[in-house]
Every structure is written in structure tokens, then in C-alpha cells.
Amino acid sequence: MSDTFFTASPHWTWFIIPYFFIGGLAGGAYFLAALVEWFGRPEDRPVVRTGYSVAFWGAIVSGLLLTLDLGRPLRFWHMLFQSERFPHLMFKSWSPISFGAWAILLFGACAALSMLGARAEEGRSQGALAKALSGGTVLGKLVAGVGGLFGFFVAGYTGVLLAVTNRPIWADSPWLGALFLVSGASTGAALLTLLGPGRGASERSLKWLASFDSRALVFELVILIAFMVSLGSVARVWLSVWGVLLLLGVVGVGILWPLRLHAKPAGAVNAALLVLVGGFLLRAVTILASSGIEFHRVAEGAMR
């Protein structure tokens, strides 16, 4: 039996599951928007602006969910500053939850600046800073470049956070960070596919998003298989309702079905909806499958 079975559950559930999903999605959307900011064409600008909006609101919701999940929410700032020696910074480069808190803050700051630039581009903000950040400027590109990296960091660190514990499934494989990151990119692309047309995204941009999503889904499936193989004997934990959800919900509904839809001419919207469902389920089953394993019950089994 893996030593991870002798640990206790942290009870991360209904604030953390949507946080992992929204954080990943926001990070993925920003990364794609930043990439198009740097290498796209002028007709791709609506997708860029949509990506910045998704990232900004996603960062805010993520921060709120993370704070609400704390046992003492008003002490959220203890993650950032040393409470006994304020304003000394609190930062541990070896603790994902510590550097993750900083990453969300900086990601949110970049997303806010990028969205300000996007608003200026749409003529909704007039300030000097907004103009300096608007479409295609050097400052706008720089902020997008840094924010895009933070975006991927936020999308992936949640999986690394789970791996840097001693819990079953999470600590039994090094693949969760990669899996969440790829899922974040694919769900980010899916949301941009859904929201883009409403903000004037061109047919060309949507086609690129669909083709990227297809490739990301194949990559996600490969990583999911690597994750399962790396679990070894612990994989039998999936012989449960969570395993059924993983197989049917994540692989079937969230990966294979969208891939089939992407092959059809007008299947992108439905595929995007299914990718979002699959992305949420991936976080839910990963967290709940491990959370259901209670230390004292496992210990009782070992004693017999």
C-alpha cells in the first residue's frame, strides 16, 4: 500500500474545484491572447481583447474563491506578508501554495493592465496609461508577454500544488501540473470560441482556436494516459464512481466527443461547451477521488 494512504484529507472541495477550473481557464485564455498579441494579425484583435477580459474576471473570481475557502478568510494577506513583521514579504519558493498566491496576484495585475488597454482600443477608456497599453503598443506587448507566462503558471501550479502533498493520487504522480496546464489551455480556447463571436472575432481567428483546441485535446489525452500509468498500483483508486466519471465525463465527453465534433464543419461551438464540462469534471474527480480516502478508514483496513 502506498504511504500516501496514511494521510488525512484537507477537505478542499466546493471552493477549490471551481477555483482550479476558473484559474486554469483564465490562465489558458490569457496565454493564447498574449500569443496572438505578439504573433497574430489585426483581424485577431477581438480574440485578444476577449482573452484579456476572461483573464481579468477569472483572476478576480479565483482570488475570491481561494479566500473564501480559508478557515480564516480575513487573514488571506498572511500568504503575502509576514503577519508578525508587516510589511516583510511572505514567500517560499518551494511551497506551491505560497508562490501560487503571488502568481495569482501578479497574473491579476497583468490581466487588469491588459484589459485597460483593450478598453482603450474599444474607445471605452481614455487615460494616458490605457492608451499606452492599447493594441499592439510595446508596453501592451510586454505586459501581455509577462502576463501570458503568469497565466500558464496559474493554470499549471494548481496541479503541482496537489503533487506537493502526501495525499493519494495527487502525490503519487508528477503529471498533474502538466495535465491541469494543458486542460487550462484547452478550456481557455473553448471559452474564447464561445465568447469571441459576440465581440466580433473573425472566422479566421475562430478557426485557429478550433484547430489549437483539437491539438491541445490530443495532447491532454496523452498526458492523462501518462498520469494513469505513473500511478502504478494506486490507480485502483479509480475503481469507483470517480473513475467512471473520469472515463465517461473527462475522456468521453470532454476529449473524444469534442475531437469528433471538431472534425465537422460547424461543430466548434458544441465542442467548446463539452470541453468546458470535461475541464470542470477533470478537477472535480481528481480532487474528490483523493478526498474520499480517509486516513482512519484506511488504517483500520491495514490493521486486519
Partner 1 sequence: MPEAMGFFTDTTVCIGCKACEVACKNWNELPSEDGGLRELSGDSYDNTRRLDGIHWRHVRFIEQFHGAYEGRWLMMSDVCKHCVQAPCLEVCPTGAIIRTEFDTVVIQSDVCNGCRDCIAACPFGVIDINHVSGTAQKCTLCYDRLQVGLEPACSKACPTDSIQFGTIAELRARGQKRVEQLKSQGVDAYLYGADPGGPLGGLNSFYLLVDKPGVYGLPESPRLPTRNLKPAGALSAASAAVLGLLALVGLRKQRMDDMAGTTSGGTA
Name which of residues 146 to 175 contact partner 1 (CB under 8 A). 152, 156-157, 159-161, 163-167, 170-171, 174-175
Please report how close the Cβ of residue 80 comes to partner 1 at its closest, in angstroms. Answer: 9
Q: Which of 217, 192, 198 lies closest to 33, judged by CA?
A: 192
Cα-only R_g, the chain: 20
Place of cell 482600443: 121
Q: Give the interface segment with partner 1, choosing from 32-40, 126-134, 236-244, 249-257 (CB under 8 A).
A: 32-40
- Is 242 an interacting residue with respect to partner 1 (CB under 8 A)? no
- Is 96 an interacting residue with respect to partner 1 (CB under 8 A)? yes
Q: Convert 182-220 to b/e letters by CB count within 10 Å (16 or more is b).
A: bbbbbbbbbbbbbbbbebebbeebbebbbebbbebbeeb
Q: Give the interface segment with partner 1, choosing from 50-58, 94-102, 131-139, 267-275 (CB under 8 A).
A: 94-102
Q: Which of 14, 68, 82, 247 binds partner 1 (CB under 8 A)?
A: 82
Q: Which of 148, 151, 112, 153 lies closest to 133, judged by CA?
A: 112
Instruction: Count how many residues are written for the chain.
Output: 304
Q: Give the interface segment with partner 1, choosing from 128-136, 200-208, 242-250, 273-281 (CB under 8 A).
A: 200-208
> Considering only residues 97-116, where is the footprint of partner 1 by CB under 8 A?
97-98, 101
Set of cell numbers at residue 285: 474527480
Please report how close the Cβ of residue 256 comes to partner 1 at its closest, in angstroms. Answer: 19
- Is 1 an interacting residue with respect to partner 1 (CB under 8 A)? yes
